[in-house]
Amino acid sequence: MFPMLAGACPAQRENTMSLLDNLTNLAGGQGAGGSSALEIIGGLINHAGGVQGLINALQRGGLGSAVESWISTGTNQAISGGQLSQALNGTPLGAHVNEIAQKLGVDPNQVLGQLAQHLPQAIDHLTPNGQLPAGEADLSALQSLAAKLGL
């Protein structure tokens, strides 16, 4: 799913740019890098078996009130990378995040921090009017969000 990561080299590991900038370089300079973060979110959704599966996993992990705020039409509650780490710890989704971090040559906490920053808006976008659309949303909806944000 991440062929863009195949060429990651040790020099990239020492790069002090933000993870999103690092993702942008690895992806060949797509936008401002946000679309690459959205690809990672898309990968989480895929590994969870869909948007509902990701929502369920986060709720089981203790992020129920935050997730409900993302789904509802109100303000999105922020989460930290640490909270996301606790929610995904010991799950297949947590293992997926660790694999991504390993491929990027960065600490998993960096990936979790970026996911925590973008996940609320992504879930909010994927649940218009406070509900999952019929047939669920997919990566194309995330790409729509990236375009909307100018990423």
Residue 132 domain-assigned?
yes
147: pLDDT confidence band, cut at 50, 70 and 90?
A: low
Asked if residue 143 belongs to a domain, the reply is yes
Read off the tokens for 18. 């933000």
User: Token digits for 114?
Assistant: 């970026």
Q: How high does pLDDT run on average in the chain?
A: 74
User: In this structure, is residue 73 part of a structural domain?
Assistant: yes
Chain-centre distance for alpha carbon 51? 12
The distance of Cα 73 from the centroid of its chain, to the nearest Å, equals 20
- Total of domains in the chain: 1
pLDDT digits (tens, 9 = 90+) for 1-43: 333 333 333 333 332 233 334 434 433 333 333 447 777 888 8
Tens of pLDDT, residue by residue over 88-117, are: 999 999 999 999 999 888 899 999 999 999
Would you say residue 7 lies in a domain? no
Residue 114 lies in a domain: yes
**20 lies in a domain?**
no
| Residue 6 domain-assigned (yes or no) | no
**Would you say the pTM of this structure is higher than 0.85?**
no
In contact, 67 and 56? CB cutoff 8 Å:
no
Tell me the CATH number at 57. Answer: 1.10.10.690
Check whether 47 has a pLDDT greater than 60: yes
> Is residue 76 domain-resident?
yes
